[in-house]
Each structure stands twice: as structure tokens, then as C-alpha cells.
């Protein structure tokens, strides 16, 4: 069985629709994706900033130098630590740290507080724990905190502590000097999962919508436009190539638009052409009949005229010649001549009155 092929115009328009639809869906998806991401980031940023600011209010920065010098905890330290631990547990933070970081590269860290979420993979650093931590984003943001007093919010993916959002704010003593940085880190896997779910949902819906739309478009476009145009094309091609009589198939086009108008106009044109051809054939036949009759009449008329030349070959004393040229096929004039005797010649002329 021969496979039914789509018309060329359908393929071209379908390709254009698919490309346009893909671009439109991509634009909508990108807009939704960035709007979704921005909304979540805005909410997370505001939340993490508020938690960091509230945590800073519990601190006594003037005691930090004593804690770092003696590496010993007192009741005040323990009280602050319990409050910070409560922040970590209630707000489901990965960890919270208060540390002193040395310039100029801000890679050497000394921890003052470092409560972590219970049951997590993180281990709490004790008071006075020191380490060298080289991570460009952390080092750069910590430098801005100490040197500019800036509040920094970073979204970090795939580090040693996983994917998280971190807020860093300066901690100042009573004289206004920045002596430490407070960092609050929260896992953003929930956000990552929600974004992945959003992306997967949108992609699946786009595929379903695209399949349904393309299928509906092909069926509707073929029925509404391609089939009527193909019918008009076949009818006009048959009429022009084979001189066939027009059929009433074009009247089956029921479109109330320019295609319907075109179909009915072509149908009427075919009938008009056939009528004109029949009339032209009749007129041509009539002209041929009249022409034939005139030719016969002209021959009869010419046969009635004398044709000998010279008219009287036995006479050498005179010569006689005559001709007649009718204005059309047949004229109204006639002539003749004859010798009455040796001395008398009669010329007979019958001009048309």
C-alpha cells in the first residue's frame, strides 16, 4: 500500500510552526525558570540574612580576644553557644560559625563558635581551632566583610560542605572595629530539587503540548486549507491539460474565506470558458460555411466571364483584353464580348447598380 505523503506546503508550514513553537516554548521556559529561581533566591536570601542578623545579636564580641587567648569557655560562652545551637536546630542550618580570619589573603581561620546540625555529616570545630582554607569565593567574600563591612550572601554548589546558601556578616566590638565574621550556612537541596522538578515538569508538558498541537495543527490545516487548495489545483490542471468539462467537485469546498471564494470563482470561470469555447466554435463554423459559399459563388462568377486571350486570335488588326477584380469574394459586375460580323464588335457590360 502506497504511503500517503504530506503536501509540500504542509511540510514547510509544519516545519515553521515547529521551529516557532520551539523558540516560543524555550522563551517561556527560560522566563519561568529564571523567575522561579529568582523568587526562591529572594526568599532564601531574606531568610538567611535575618537568621544571621539575629544570631549576631546574641554575641559578646568584646570577650572574643579573651576566649582566643585562653581557649577556655565560661558560662557566658556556653549560654551563647546554646542559643546559636538552637538557631541551627530550629532553622535547619548546616552550621553556624563565628571566626577570626587573618588578612591579607583571608585564608587562615580561627573558630570562636561553630555549632552544627545534630546528626549531620559536619563536625563542630572547638574554640580556637585553626585551619587554612583556600576557596576563592569564600576568601573573596570574607575579605569584603572585614575590609568593607559588607553583608554577603553566596549560593555555593558542590563544595566540601555540599550545595548551600551562606550569609556572612561582620561582627564588631564596642569600638566599632570588625573583629570577626559570622557565617550561617543552610542546605539548599530542597531548592535544587524543586527547581529540578519544575524543569522536568515543564519539559514533559512542553513535549505533550507539542505533540498534541502538531497533531491537531496537521489535521486541521490539511482539512481546512490543503485539501481545498489541492482540489482546486487538480481541477484547474485537468481542465487546462485535457480540456475536460468542468465538474461540480469544487462546490464541495465550504470554506467561508478566500479559499472558498477562489474555489467558486474557478468553478464559474471553467463554465464561462466552456460556454465561450462553444460560442466561438459555433461562430467559427458559421464563418467557414459563409466563406465556402462565397468561394463557390466567386468560382461561378469567374466561370461566367470569358477567359480566352487573345480574344480573337484570328484577327490581327485589333486586340482585346478584360479583367474584373471584385472588392470582396464576389462582385456584382459582368462583361462579355463577341463579333457580330467581320466589321462589328459588341462589348457587353453589366455594372452593378
Confidence (pLDDT) at 1? 45
The sign of the torsion formed by the CA atoms of 32, 197, 157, 23 equals negative
**Grid cell 525558570 in the structure block, residue:** 33
- pLDDT tens-digit series, residues 323-334: 777 666 666 677
pLDDT in the model for residue 9: 67
The three three-digit cell numbers of residue 225, written as one number: 486549507
- pLDDT tens string 117-173: 888 788 899 999 999 999 898 899 999 999 999 999 988 765 555 578 899 999 999
What is the rounded distance in angstroms from the CA atom of residue 139 to the CA atom of residue 105? Answer: 7
- The answer to whether 186 and 201 are in contact (CB under 8 A) is no
pTM: 0.54
- What residues contact residue 92 under an 8 Å CB cut-off, 6+ apart? 117, 186, 187
Cα(198)–Cα(250) distance, integer angstroms: 51
Detail the DSSP E strand segments found in the chain.
95-102, 108-113, 130-132, 152-159, 162-172, 178-187, 334-339, 345-350
Phi, psi of 90 (to 5 degrees): -70, -35
User: Which positions of the chain have pLDDT values less than 70?
Assistant: 1-10, 157-162, 190-192, 195, 238-252, 254-257, 267, 301, 303-305, 307-309, 326-332, 352-353
Strand partners, 337: 347
Helix axes 189-221, 8-56, angle to 10 degrees: 160
Amino acid at each position: 500500500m502506497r504511503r500517503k505523503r504530506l503536501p509540500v506546503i504542509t511540510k514547510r508550514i509544519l516545519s515553521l510552526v515547529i521551529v516557532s513553537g520551539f523558540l516560543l516554548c524555550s522563551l517561556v521556559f527560560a522566563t519561568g525558570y529564571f523567575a522561579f529561581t529568582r523568587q526562591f533566591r529572594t526568599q532564601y536570601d531574606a531568610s538567611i540574612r535575618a537568621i544571621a542578623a539575629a544570631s549576631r545579636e546574641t554575641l559578646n564580641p568584646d570577650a572574643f580576644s579573651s576566649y582566643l587567648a585562653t581557649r577556655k569557655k565560661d558560662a557566658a560562652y556556653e549560654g551563647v553557644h546554646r542559643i546559636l545551637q538552637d538557631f541551627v536546630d530550629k532553622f535547619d542550618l548546616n552550621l553556624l560559625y563565628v571566626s577570626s580570619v587573618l588578612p591579607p589573603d583571608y585564608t587562615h581561620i580561627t573558630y570562636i563558635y561553630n555549632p552544627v546540625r545534630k546528626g549531620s555529616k559536619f563536625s563542630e570545630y572547638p574554640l580556637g581551632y585553626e585551619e587554612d582554607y583556600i576557596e576563592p569565593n569564600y576568601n573573596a567574600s570574607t575579605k569584603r566583610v572585614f575590609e568593607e563591612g559588607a553583608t554577603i550572601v553566596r549560593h555555593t554548589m558542590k563544595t566540601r560542605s555540599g550545595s548551600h546558601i551562606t550569609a556572612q556578616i561582620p561582627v564588631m566590638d564596642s569600638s566599632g572595629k570588625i573583629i570577626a565574621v559570622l557565617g550561617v550556612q543552610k542546605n539548599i537541596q530542597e531548592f535544587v530539587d524543586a527547581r529540578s522538578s519544575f524543569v522536568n515538569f515543564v519539559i514533559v508538558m512542553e513535549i505533550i503540548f507539542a505533540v498534541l498541537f502538531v497533531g491537531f495543527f496537521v489535521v486541521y490545516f490539511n482539512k481546512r486549507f490543503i485539501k481545498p487548495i489541492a482540489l482546486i489545483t487538480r481541477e484547474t490542471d485537468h481542465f487546462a491539460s485535457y480540456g475536460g468539462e468542468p465538474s461540480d467537485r469544487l462546490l464541495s469546498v465550504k470554506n467561508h474565506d478566500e479559499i472558498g471564494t477562489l474555489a467558486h470563482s474557478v468553478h464559474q470561470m471553467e463554465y464561462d470558458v466552456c460556454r465561450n469555447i462553444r460560442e466561438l466554435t459555433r461562430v467559427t463554423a458559421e464563418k467557414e460555411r459563409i466563406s465556402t459559399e462565397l468561394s463557390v459563388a466567386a468560382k461561378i462568377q469567374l466561370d461566367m466571364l470569358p477567359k480566352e486571350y487573345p480574344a480573337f486570335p484570328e484577327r490581327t488588326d485589333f486586340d482585346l483584353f478584360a479583367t474584373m477584380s471584385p472588392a470582396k469574394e464576389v462582385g456584382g459586375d459582368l462583361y462579355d464580348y463577341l463579333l457580330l460580323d467581320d466589321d462589328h464588335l459588341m462589348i457587353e457590360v453589366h455594372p452593378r447598380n
